[in-house]
Amino acid sequence: MSRASRIYRGTPRNLAMLAGRLRKGGLVAVPTETVYGLAGDATSRSACVGIFRAKGRPRGDPLIVHIASLRDLGRVARANPAALRLAARFWPGPLTIVLPKTGLVPGEATAGLPSVAVRMPSHPLFRRLIRLAGVPLAAPSANPFGYVSPTTAEHVRRSLGSRVTHILDGGPSRIGLESTIIDLRDPGRPALLRPGAVTRGELARALGMPVAMSRRPAARGRAQVSPGRMRRHYSPRTPVTLHNFLSPRMAAKGRPSDAWLFIAKPAGNAPVRGGNVFWLDAKGDLRRAARRLFATLRSLDEGGFRRIHVERPAGAGLAEALADRLVRASSR
């Protein structure tokens, strides 16, 4: 008989208990500033396999390894000066760096590749849990593979159910999008593998050189150098249509059974119906929009709509990260 999932507050007693569970090879859903993750001992082959099994995740999609301090970086990766420069500037925070791995990290965590994706999260409960566990923690998003990422503890419980029995509640995710991923295996040719809250411009200024955007989607069944590279990802079950331009008039003329999602609240006396028009932020602030994106997509997915029409944000910076998630959510 499977055990029901339980949500735990971040008390010292609960954190000690959850850290013990992780040391014994168990899994714990954890809060981060980006999205909620499903954590296990990154040095344990069986724990890493358990993460893949719980998510239904293909083995060629590697896990991100999380550390609590810069001193731990050398345990899991072979850092170069460029990586140390970015770590000093952006860690703890929503930046993942791909580097050559050490022998401490098993191939089960890295899709069998000699590289590892590593970051230091800024969420205080998660960092405390890593310290208490005493091991680096592998933690992809705590949801069935390919579905919309969770940004609350309740999202995790509703998505994974009894597949994860221990969930640490750290409140809603502050950023709401997965971390930025940069490939620094060759520090002379930095490549952005996944945009996020740390923007390509910020990375280029910190490194003092351009950062190329890797736009080639990963081939299904082939080992990837980092997660978040599948053509279709972050997707609700309801079909998503992405529009470069979305107007209130289009929504007014569309089917009542379709949902229409704008970045900002439509201005003025726009001709929109009340029950199927939504927006991510009243003023179109992209940080607040990013924070609400996945929770809104989940809500619309559960709303019985035939299709979700979404406005694509234009521009660089955080708009690039939002557009990346929406392009993958709408891909067929």
pLDDT tens, position by position, for the chain (332 residues)?
A: 357 899 999 999 999 999 999 999 999 999 999 999 999 999 999 999 999 999 999 999 999 999 999 999 999 999 999 999 999 999 999 999 999 999 999 999 999 999 999 999 999 999 999 999 999 999 999 999 999 999 999 999 999 999 999 999 999 999 999 999 999 999 999 999 999 999 999 999 999 999 999 866 655 668 899 988 888 889 999 999 999 999 999 998 999 999 999 999 988 655 555 689 999 999 999 999 999 999 999 999 999 999 999 999 999 999 999 999 999 999 97
Domain 6-213, second-level architecture: Alpha-Beta Complex (3.90)
Domain boundaries, the chain: 6-213, 240-330
CA distance 149 to 161: 15
What pTM does this model have? 0.95
The pLDDT score that the predictor gives to residue 324 is 95
Is residue 258 within 8 Å of 306, Cβ to Cβ? yes
Q: Strands 137-138, 37-41: parallel, antiparallel or unpaired by DSSP?
A: antiparallel
Q: What string of DSSP letters covers 56-94?
A: T--TTSPPEEE-SSGGGHHHHB---HHHHHHHHHH-SSS
Picking from 117, 180, 182, the residue whose alpha carbon sits closest to that of residue 321 is 180
Rounded to 10°, the helix 286-301/153-160 angle is 30
Using one digit for the tens of pLDDT, what is the confidence trace for 35-47? 999 999 999 999 9
The pLDDT score that the predictor gives to residue 220 is 61
- Residues in CB range of 12: below 8 A, 6 or more apart: none
Give bridge partners of residue 39 from the DSSP assignment. Answer: 28
CA distance 33 to 287: 13
> Token pair 């890295």 is at which residue?
110
- Residues in CB range of 109: below 8 A, 6 or more apart: 42, 48, 62, 63, 65, 116, 138
